[in-house]
Amino acid sequence: MTAAPGAIVRRGGISTTIFIITIVVVAAVSGTVGYVIPGLLHPGASTYTLNGAGSTFVNPLLTAINTNYTKLNSNIQINYQAVGSGTGINFLGTRTVDFGASDAPLSNAQLVQVPNALTIPDTIGAVVIAYNIPINSTYSVHKGLYLNVTVAAKIFQGDITVWNDPAILALNQNNPNLPGVSLPGSQITVVHRSDSSGTTFVFSGYLNSTSVWRGGQSKTITKWATGSIGANGNQGVAAVLQGTSNTVGYVELNYALSTTPPISYSFLWNPTGNSFIAPTLSSTGLAATSLSTLPSGNGNWQSINLLNSNNPGAYPIVTFSYIMVYQELNVYGSAMTQARAQTLVNYLWFVVHDGQNQATPLSFVALPSNVVTNAETTIRSITYNGSTLHS
């Protein structure tokens, strides 16, 4: 595959459980960027395992962050289970985990289910429409198929069923990525998430911006095309796309870039820029440039939306991913000591600071400074028995 300008291409196969991630070891130490993490590089005798669960979207980044954190704090292990955003928040609600991760903000029902929860952005990333279109025995469409939101919605709900549909051909008649290639008349099979998914929430929100989409926006969608295939996690969708011809699905960008053979992905129409935009670090980051105000950590984040940015160079399917934690950690009872609570807060501080150094190599966008400031305020508000844990 020839990458779009600015894209970072990864090689390595996807297994049923995890993909290969390039781990970047952070060399920063406490104090070098103006903050102090108690105990960093100087672990005490006690050992701790922090448990988290949720988003598969952010799993490539959290895996790298967690590996580096343990390298610096050998007495602390981070056990993160990538089980989907919905399940992660459910686990947080039942206090099974110390933190949940989701690409969808807490809904009104979840705000009741997880009272006094805090929302902490941990990264910004893109969702791509990925596909597997074999043209013949020697050539496949390994470059950017042009799509817009209306055509994408029709494909995913089954109104467009073949690759050479006139609506797809019209968008691609002058596509320089497909010179001289005629799209086949093969039947399209849609691949979607079968679990409760923040990636689905983001992607369906994009589709919901056109009036032809009938599925609404949700972490679980029922109105997919007839004959569609469901899979658990971004890794599950990517594996089906990689191994099944004439499929189309949606995954976080890293999952498309980290496979062998590579998974192709579409360029999407930005009406403000009057052009088709590739999902790159630059175009993903541009989607967040106009976001000036953020809610407080204990506020309602449902109005925060990076989809369909008016920036002419922005890729249209972009989202925050979030970590959710309880503001008062005494809710765990005897399972949460003050030392354990301090360990959790130290880890969260690392995620939004040195952890952000892992973002770019994995095709995520590091948090802008105003978002980091918001996260710092939120982390400082976390308490144990009424006492703050980070000044």
Query: Looking at residue 338, which CATH number applies to its domain?
Result: 3.40.190.10
Q: Residue 134 above 70 pLDDT?
A: yes
- In this structure, the answer to whether residues 214 and 72 fall within a common structural domain is no
172 in any annotated domain: yes
25 in any annotated domain: no
Calpha distance 193→220 (Å, rounded): 8
**Segment 61-90 mean pLDDT:** 97
100 forms bridges with which residues in the sheet? Answer: 53, 324
Q: What is the pLDDT of residue 135?
A: 75
Q: Which of 65-79, 100-114, 249-263, 265-279 has the lowest mean pLDDT?
A: 249-263
Find, among 359, 290, 347, 294, the residue nearest to 323 by Cα: 347
pLDDT in tens, 339-368: 999 999 999 999 999 999 999 999 999 999
- In this structure, the answer to whether residues 53 and 187 fall within a common structural domain is no
Final residue of a structural domain among 284, 301, 332: 284
175 in any annotated domain: yes
35 in any annotated domain: no
The answer, as to whether pTM is greater than 0.85, is yes
- In this structure, the answer to whether residues 144 and 193 fall within a common structural domain is yes
- In this structure, the answer to whether residues 180 and 278 fall within a common structural domain is yes
For residues 251 and 317, is the Cβ–Cβ distance under 8 A?
no
Calpha distance 344→38 (Å, rounded): 11
pLDDT in tens, 96-108: 999 999 999 999 9
- In this structure, the answer to whether residues 61 and 155 fall within a common structural domain is no
196 in any annotated domain: yes
Q: What is the pLDDT of residue 204?
A: 98
Q: Residue 9 above 70 pLDDT?
A: no
364 in any annotated domain: yes
User: Would you state the structure tokens that stand for residue 381, as one six-digit string?
Assistant: 């508000």
- In this structure, the answer to whether residues 132 and 176 fall within a common structural domain is yes
- In this structure, the answer to whether residues 145 and 272 fall within a common structural domain is yes
15 in any annotated domain: no
Q: What is the pLDDT of residue 38?
A: 45
- In this structure, the answer to whether residues 257 and 142 fall within a common structural domain is yes
Give me the domain span that covers residue 247: 127-284
Question: What's the mean pLDDT when you consider all of the chain?
Answer: 89
DSSP 313: T
- In this structure, the answer to whether residues 269 and 323 fall within a common structural domain is no
- In this structure, the answer to whether residues 157 and 233 fall within a common structural domain is yes
21 in any annotated domain: no
At position 297, the amino acid (one-letter code) is G
Total count of domains within the chain = 2
- In this structure, the answer to whether residues 131 and 264 fall within a common structural domain is yes
SS3 category, 384? strand
Select the more confidently predicted residue: 128 or 2: 128
Q: What is the pLDDT of residue 298?
A: 96
- In this structure, the answer to whether residues 145 and 268 fall within a common structural domain is yes
